[in-house]
Amino acid sequence: MDAILQSIIQGLLLGGLYAAVGVGMSMIFGIVQITNLAHGDFLVLASFVSLSVMGAMGWNPFLSLIIVIPVMFVIGYIVQVTMLNKVLSRGAEPPLLVTFGFSIIIQNLLLYFFTANAQKLSTPLLLKSIAISANIRIPVMYLIACLVGVAVIIILGFYMRNTYQGKAIRATSDDNEAAQLMGVNIKRTYGIAMGISMMTAGVTGVMIGVLFNFYPSSGSTYLIIAFAVVVIGGIGSINGTLVAGFIFGLAQVVGGQILGATYQQLIGYIVLLIMLIVRPQGLFSK
Amino acid sequence: MRKILNVDNLHVAYGKFKVLHELSFDVEESQVLGVIGPNGAGKTTLMNALSGLVIPYDGTVVFDGVNITKKSPDERCRHGIGRTYQVPRPFEGLTVFENVLVGAAYGVGKSERAVIAKAVEVLKSTSLYEKSDTVAGRLTLLDRKRLEIARALATEPKLLLLDEVAAGLTDAEVHEVMELVEYLKGTGITIIWIEHVIKTMAESTDKLLCLSTGTGLIYGDPDYVMASKEVEEVYLGVEEE
Ligand SMILES: Nc1ncnc2c1ncn2[C@@H]1O[C@H](COP(=O)(O)OP(=O)(O)O)[C@@H](O)[C@H]1O
Ligand SMILES: [Mg+2]
């Protein structure tokens, strides 16, 4: 019983982070109408950027965020404006292929510079936990990752509702042609949206890198998580993303606890599959 | 009077489907040009070409001394062209206030306080202020039409393009929209006003242009155009519907 309770706690905490893993992809789905197949790879790229920053500056992973976040924004903006925007008018497939290309390029660049070895963003916090009872403990790093994930989503929601740029992004998402008639430069807006999406990938990439081993090829794992969160939550719904993250995290960890840890990923896929069949528009679609 | 818009030998097509050809006309500052013509004549297409949503394959559009033929819609907006849609297209997920705010913030480079003041001003002048916090997707057709105008006004246009603002409204509602347009005329803004049913705009225009099958059929003072045989022929079948 305690073991189940323990995994529920862990699953929920992980879920908060998963929500933030998915929210950036959901945004781009909703606003630019691109399925960013490289979202997971960008996330892992951020883990490696953090690793490099930590090595060069002697910083801890959290401090590295002050470099990782702006770097990821710039990467996102440039990628969108110089490449994705150019193929947007040619239908759905070309942008999809371009993001697939990014995925391959990122993986191979990381392989070239960092080898295929397992990496980790180390911090002593990983070993700390708060005892709730004799057998139940809250791992501190899971708690931090969850709070950071939830904070990312709350800040994003605030930005979208309360800033002119956020309103322009939502307007563009509703009707990009009418937005242009209001003076909104939509290509630039897409660039900013992708930059913000990459900022979320940056933050979550660092949290993931602290919690788990990562490799140049880890992107696909996080792409699936992001995809699941988008599908369960409903495209473009920030609150839906949050609930979806919790559901997915719970299913993975609790399922893994019951069936064995090796089944964790499989259980995630099965939840995703069931969701796609039962309610493909997501729980909270607009 | 200064010419604010000059359209010269305009040719517009959607892909291979040619819609406008050899269309030329001028608009003088602070005047109202009415554009009439049967369904499918190319009136909305002319709006698209002037607002930058389609780029002509031949001809030029000069606005306020600048050749804007190939400029993007957002550049034209900031340059001073505002436009409404025949079938309103508000940002459905945004409130009425937010809809207008986007135009005020992006259509003209303003300080934050000026943007909000502008939004309040246009909402008041279009009788939408009470509905500021309503989500635009829930508005009635009349209010949607008002919002189209409010949103365009928020960008502070020198030239306002109105595409069939009266279409689909009841007589009483048409009357309200007419009053709004009369008010706009009073502000000195230049207007190109498309209407399918001519009676609606009647004498409110300074000049009238009748389009038929994608080109200018006749242009001149409203009385002269309305009395012409050309317009009578074009509208013969239509008016009986
Ligand atoms: N986006 C489009 N793609 C292809 N053809 C179009 C498009 N918009 C309008 N048309 C065609 O162009 C012609 C003129 O349409 P439009 O400009 O809407 O006329 P009006 O506003 O005078 O009724 C019509 O034959 C219409 O079918
Ligand atoms: Mg029309």
The pLDDT of B115-132, averaged and rounded, is 95
Q: Which residue of A has its CA nearest to B88?
A: A178
Name the closest ligand to CA B85: 2
- Residue A74, C-beta contacts closer than 8 angstroms, at least 6 positions apart: A195
Condensed to tens digits (0 to 9), the pLDDT of residues A227-280 reads 999 988 887 788 889 999 999 999 888 888 888 878 888 888 888 888 888 888
Residue B236 is assigned to a structural domain of this protein:
yes
pLDDT tens per residue across span B171-204: 899 888 888 988 999 998 999 999 876 666 767 8
What is the total count of domains within chain B? 2
User: Is residue B134 domain-resident?
Assistant: yes
Q: Look at residue B16 and tell me whether its pLDDT is greater than 50.
A: yes
Q: pLDDT band for position B226 (50/70/90)?
A: confident
Residues B3 and B74 in one domain: yes
Q: B45: how many CB neighbours lie within 10 A of its CB?
A: 22
Q: CB–CB of B74 and A171 under 8 A? A: no
Domain that holds residue B134: 86-156
Give the β-pairing of B159-163 and B190-194: parallel
- Mind telling me how many Å the CA of B92 is from chain A's nearest CA? 7
**Pseudo-torsion of CA A197, A202, A208, A210, nearest 10°?**
-160
DSSP letter string, A34-78: ---TTHHHHHHHHHHHHHHHHHHH---HHHHHHHHHHHHHHHHHH
Residues A145-187: pLDDT tens digits? 999 999 999 999 999 999 999 999 999 999 999 999 999 999 9
Q: How confident is the model at residue B236, as a pLDDT?
A: 65
Tens-digit pLDDT profile for residues A121-145? 999 999 899 988 888 899 999 999 9
Q: Domain-by-domain residue ranges, chain A? A: 2-278
Pocket, ligand 1, Cβ cutoff 6 A = B 14, 17, 19, 37, 39-45
Tell whether the model's pLDDT for residue B168 goes beyond 50: yes
Quick one: how far is CA A168 from the chain centroid?
A: 23
Q: Is residue B67 part of a domain?
A: yes
Residue B216, domain CATH: 3.40.50.300
ipTM beyond cut 0.85: yes
- Residue B9 Cα to ligand 1 midpoint, Å, equals 19
Nearest-CB residue to A174 (from B52, B94, B105) = B94
Say if residue B212 is in the same domain as residue B139.
Answer: no
Residue nearest to atom 8 of ligand 1 (CA): B45
Same domain, residue pair B95 and B67:
no
Residue B209's alpha-carbon distances to A40, A183, B231, in angstroms, are 57, 28, 10
Mean pLDDT check: name the lowest of B27-36, B138-147, B230-239: B230-239
* Residue B163 located in a structural domain: no
CA B159 – ligand 1 centroid, Å: 22
Instruction: Write the pLDDT tens digit of every residue in A35-88.
Output: 999 999 999 999 999 999 999 999 999 999 999 999 999 999 999 999 999 999
Name the 3-class secondary structure at B11.
Answer: strand
Query: B161 and A188 in contact (C-beta within 8 Å)?
Result: no
Whole-number pLDDT of residue A45: 98
CA distances from A35 to A94, A95, A166, A228, B26 (A): 11, 8, 21, 13, 46
B106 touches chain A (CB under 8 A): yes
Residue having the nearest C-alpha atom to atom 6 of ligand 1: B14
Domain A2-278: which topology?
ABC transporter involved in vitamin B12 uptake, BtuC (1.10.3470)
- Distance between CA atoms of residues B156 and A51, nearest Å: 50
